[in-house]
Amino acid sequence: MDESTAVGEPLVHIRNFRMDFGSQTVIRDLSFDVHAGETFGFLGSNGSGKTTTLRALLGIYQPTAGVLHIGGKVFEPRDGARLGYLPEERGLYKREPVLDVMVYFGRLKGLSRDAAAAWSRTYLERVSLADKATTRLDKLSGGQQQKIQLGVTIMNDPELLILDEPTQGFDPVNRRLLMDIIDEQKRAGATVIMVTHQMDEVERLCDRVVLLKDGTAEAYGTVEDVQDKYGGTVVRLLYAGPLPTSDLFDVISADGSSAELAPRAGTDETEILRELLGHGVAVRSFTPARTSLEEIFLRVYGNQNELVGV
Amino acid sequence: MAQHNLGTVVGFEFLRVVTKKRFWFAALAVPIALAAVFALVFISNSSTDQTAKAQKNAQFTFTYTDESGLVTTAVAATFGGTSAADGDQAVADVKNGTVDAYFAYPADPATQPVRVYGVDRGIFENGKYDAVARQILVAGAQQTIGSPALSAMAQGDVKITSETYKDGQVSGGLDTVIPPLLFLLIFYISIVMLGNQMLNSTLEEKENRVTEMILTTMNPTTLIVGKVISLFMVGAVQMITFALPVVIGYIFFRSNLNLPDVDLSHLVLEPQAMVVGFLLLLGGFLLFTGTLVAIGAMVPTVKEAGTYFAPLMIMIFVPFYVVSVIVSDPHAVIVQVFTYFPYTASVTAMLRNGLGSLTLAESGIVIVELFGLGFVALRLAVYLFRYGSIEYSKKLALRSVLRRKSRA
């Protein structure tokens, strides 16, 4: 990735990607880019082809058709390349001591033995596993093994960090720790591609997202673009008095003192406020906001999941 | 960087094996058992030797009668013996304990047994009667011959050197056969000892779900080559561990252990046979390693890998079922088939090379075949590992993997 990128091509470039497994088409036609330095959310329901796309991007799967480039070319597992990949299927050499495994991967990623050992000890200290350095990996809990896996992934300051469901297996405390570490990598200049179902974290960390559905990009752009496209804005209201019915908005939820209203097309929030006041509603708080990604995710994939459930 | 990573892989793979207790337990089990056997043989032989010497010089009272005329009074006297006038009386004297033993030497000791009668002193000590009776006869015979040299020859204690000719040149005989056949021995030991490790070398990555991390961190060729080199190093350590007690036993305790006195200086190292043997060993090792690693990349579990191991092992032992044909008629069809069929070629060719029936042209063909197919197998192993080992839980269909690659 430190080599010259094709002129004008983003760090990650996917065009017309198609992936068949036998007679089954998993990805139909997918195109998106990830620019250097951004944090990119790769979203989709279970089985939508996110992991398949990442594996094809990393040369683990051979694509049926299309272009998948990293740094302007097809990815080749080059010794010492500064790529950090946390796969969905996790695993390390379980019968070996933690430090030995970390040093091994550190060496493979281009660090000297001493540098890899020093980095590993510092990391273990940070994730409260310093006393486990000489313990075999299979003697650690699942969450502890996940931390080691993350450590191996971010060794040697990767330029491109690809995380496939990074929070999988973490409790809320360690999830926060993990997100902090990812945030640090981002601030250090790493490009991050993240597959996750934690929509609050996507909103917090990601610059842009792609929503994968039926083997193609259902939505693609900045988080705000997607919110605008699928949810627009909502009005969060604290009030007293009866809530009137109106042609200007739909009531998403209301409990007598708070409500969430969805403005109808072409309606301005100011008109809604005027309408409410005109009907004698005692408005204590009136806050226009964007629809959450979680809500959008439910809207986009809700029917699909119901069908799957059937 | 690739070289750096090759060293890293070799170091990691080698150390993680040789630092395990179970490796040394397995590696030392045979040498320890050998050492224990050697120690028992040593102790037993020392004790027997000392006792035999003691018995040979043991002084006890005995009488003898001699119809052969070989036993002299002087020799018998040195052992404490006196001539008996009557054999029956002498036996009676033994029975009542008047004398310890009575030896009856027949007229022709070469065809008739020397009869020994003695007072029972226990199973082991009773052996002294035989020893003394025999020694007296030997001393008597030597005195009759009158020449130590003739005595030695009479006992077959002579050295013979033979020289045979092939195409007008001196041929080394058995001394030229042994050195190249050592490569065959090394081949068998390495495949038998390392075969399972070769088969399982890439399975660990699959079973531990570490394949994706590896495939995105380094070139799979580096991994496979590193694993093969480390396997070779592990095999070398095992062979040294196995051989060391034998070498030590041979050098320092040969006589105590009754090991044959092999004069290694007589062995003839024929350059062509040695070079061909070495190349056949390397080529065969490469082919089997590549094949076993490729199988390991195809199957999901150690158990399933085991089903492929037995047929390959059978193939390296099959040539021994026709070894008599290989020796007597190297041009027989079955020998030719075994010489060129890849998985029997290395053993058959090494045997024929040792026996001198493999021509230079045949050697060249087999060596090229082994190296060529070995590299193909290794390439296939790398390819299967790269594109197939991600199928963690199911056996790969080779055809579908290759089709996937060609379509791309």
Asked if residues B97 and B57 have their Cβ atoms less than 8 Å apart, the reply is no
Question: How many residue pairs bridge chain A and chain B with CB atoms within 8 Å of each other?
Answer: 92
Q: How many CB atoms lie within 10 A of CB A306?
A: 9
The mean per-residue pLDDT over the stretch B173-191 comes to 83
For residues B247 and B282, state if they share a domain: yes
Looking up tokens 């990601």 gives A206
From chain A, the residues in CB contact with B210 under 8 A are: 91-93
Nearest CA to CA, how far is A196 from chain B (Å)?
18
From chain B, the residues in CB contact with A109 under 8 A are: 217
Is the CB of residue A105 less than 8 Å away from at least one CB of chain B? Answer: yes
For residues B226 and B299, state if they share a domain: yes
Beta-strand relationship, B115-118 and B101-105: antiparallel
For residues B239 and B369, state if they share a domain: yes
Higher pLDDT, A272 or B173: A272
**What's the CATH fold of domain A233-290?**
Alpha-Beta Plaits (3.30.70)
Looking up tokens 């062979």 gives B239
Q: Locate the chain B residue with the closest alpha carbon to A86.
A: B213
Measure the CA–CA gap between B127 and A36, rounded to whole angstroms.
94
- Select from B208, B217, B405 the Cβ nearest to the Cβ of A105: B217
Q: Which residues of B touch A (CB under 8 A)?
A: 1-2, 4-5, 8-9, 12, 16, 204, 208-210, 212-213, 215-220, 222, 386-387, 390, 392, 400, 404-405, 407-408
Confidence of residue B54 (pLDDT cuts 50, 70, 90): low
Measure the CA–CA gap between B168 and B226, rounded to whole angstroms.
48
Measure the CA–CA gap between B126 and B123, rounded to whole angstroms.
5
Give the start-end residues of each E strand in B149-295: 164-166, 169-171
Is the CB of residue A236 less than 8 Å away from at least one CB of chain B? Answer: no
The interface pTM score, or ipTM, of the predicted complex is: 0.76
Q: What is the pLDDT of residue B408?
A: 36
Alpha helices in B96-219 (DSSP H): 127-145, 148-154, 174-200, 203-207, 211-215
From chain B, the residues in CB contact with A78 under 8 A are: 1, 219
Paired tokens of A154: 């971010």
Is residue B3 in some structural domain? no
Q: Which amino acid is at B121?
A: R
Domain final residue pick, B128, B154, B180: B154
In percent, the amount of chain A with pLDDT more than 90 equals: 31
One-character DSSP codes across A46-60: TTSSHHHHHHHHTTS
Q: pLDDT tens digits, residue range B233-275?
A: 888 888 888 778 777 777 777 766 666 666 666 777 788 889 9
pLDDT mean across residues, chain A: 85
Beta-strand relationship, A160-164 and A12-21: unpaired
- Cβ contact B390–A61 (<8 Å): yes
End-to-end alpha carbon distance in chain A: 45
Q: pLDDT tens digits, residue range A229-283?
A: 776 778 889 999 888 888 888 887 888 899 988 888 888 888 999 999 999 899 9
Q: Where in chain A is the domain with CATH 3.40.50.300?
A: 12-226
Q: How many CB atoms lie within 10 A of CB B257?
A: 16
Q: Where in chain A is the domain with CATH 3.30.70?
A: 233-290
Higher pLDDT, B55 or B149: B149
| Residue A16: pLDDT over 70 | yes
Virtual torsion, Cα B245, B248, B252, B256, nearest 10 deg = 20
Q: Which amino acid is at A102?
A: M
For residues B184 and B145, state if they share a domain: no
Domain that holds residue B146: 53-154
Asked if residues A93 and A101 have their Cβ atoms less than 8 Å apart, the reply is yes
Supply the angle between the helices B342-355 and B360-388 in degrees, to the nearest 10. Answer: 150
Closest CA relative to residue B221, chosen from A9, A129, A78: A78
Measure the CA–CA gap between B334 and A67, rounded to whole angstroms.
53
Closest CA relative to residue A104, chosen from B394, B58, B223, B56: B223
Beta-strand relationship, A160-164 and A191-195: parallel
Global pTM exceeds 0.80: no
Is the CB of residue A2 less than 8 Å away from at least one CB of chain B? Answer: no
Q: What is the pLDDT of residue B347?
A: 93
Domain final residue pick, B154, B182, B217: B154
Asked if residues B235 and A92 have their Cβ atoms less than 8 Å apart, the reply is no
Asked if residues A291 and A253 have their Cβ atoms less than 8 Å apart, the reply is no
Q: Locate the chain B residue with the closest alpha carbon to A92.
A: B210
Q: Nearest-5° angle of CA B245, CA B248, CA B251?
A: 145
Nearest CA to CA, how far is B222 from chain A (Å)?
9
**A151: CB partners within 8 A, 6+ apart:** A102, A120, A123, A124, A127
Is residue B42 in some structural domain? no
- Select from A79, A96, A109 the Cβ nearest to the Cβ of B222: A79
Is residue B358 in some structural domain? yes
Is the CB of residue A4 less than 8 Å away from at least one CB of chain B? Answer: no
**H/E run at residue A164:** strand A160-164
Q: What is the pLDDT of residue A306?
A: 41
CA distances from B102 to A91, B86, B89, B118 (A): 84, 11, 10, 6
Nearest CA to CA, how far is B197 from chain A (Å)?
16
The mean per-residue pLDDT over the stretch B174-181 comes to 81
Sequence length of chain B is 408
Confidence of residue B65 (pLDDT cuts 50, 70, 90): very high
Is residue B19 in some structural domain? no
For residues B296 and B220, state if they share a domain: yes
Measure the CA–CA gap between A163 and A185, rounded to whole angstroms.
12
For residues B132 and B238, state if they share a domain: no
Q: Is the dihedral of CA B403, B405, B406, B408 positive or negative?
A: positive
User: What SS3 state is found at B50?
Assistant: helix
Report the domain count for chain B.
Answer: 2
Is residue B205 in some structural domain? yes
**A73: CB partners within 8 A, 6+ apart:** A3, A6
Asked if residues A299 and A231 have their Cβ atoms less than 8 Å apart, the reply is yes
* Long-range CB pairs of A254-261, under 8 A, 24+ apart, other chains included: A260/A234, A260/A235, A260/A236, A261/A234, A261/A235, A261/A237
In percent, the amount of chain B with pLDDT more than 70 equals: 85
Report A:129-188 residues touching B (Cβ under 8 A): 149, 152
From chain B, the residues in CB contact with A92 under 8 A are: 208, 210, 213
Paired tokens of B351: 């045997």
Higher pLDDT, A77 or B5: B5
Q: Locate the chain B residue with the closest alpha carbon to A81.
A: B217
Asked if residues B177 and B355 have their Cβ atoms less than 8 Å apart, the reply is yes
Paired tokens of A283: 């408005």
Q: What is the pLDDT of residue B399?
A: 64
Is the CB of residue A83 less than 8 Å away from at least one CB of chain B? Answer: yes
Supply the angle between the helices B220-253 and B271-298 in degrees, to the nearest 10. Answer: 130
Nearest CA to CA, how far is B22 from chain A (Å)?
13
For residues B77 and B216, state if they share a domain: no
Is residue B187 in some structural domain? yes
**A8: CB partners within 8 A, 6+ apart:** none
Confidence of residue B393 (pLDDT cuts 50, 70, 90): low
Is residue B103 in some structural domain? yes
Q: What is the pLDDT of residue B235?
A: 83
Biggest distance spanned by C-alpha atoms of chain A? 74
Nearest CA to CA, how far is B18 from chain A (Å)?
13
- Cβ contact A79–B4 (<8 Å): yes
Of B131-135, B141-145, B342-346, which one has max mean pLDDT? B342-346
Radius of gyration of chain B (CA): 32
Nearest CA to CA, how far is A100 from chain B (Å)?
8
Paired tokens of B103: 């030896």
pLDDT mean across residues, chain B: 82
Is the CB of residue A67 less than 8 Å away from at least one CB of chain B? Answer: no
Confidence of residue B155 (pLDDT cuts 50, 70, 90): confident
**Helix-strand-coil split of chain B, %, nearest 5:** 70, 5, 25
Q: Domain A12-226 belongs to what architecture?
A: 3-Layer(aba) Sandwich (3.40)
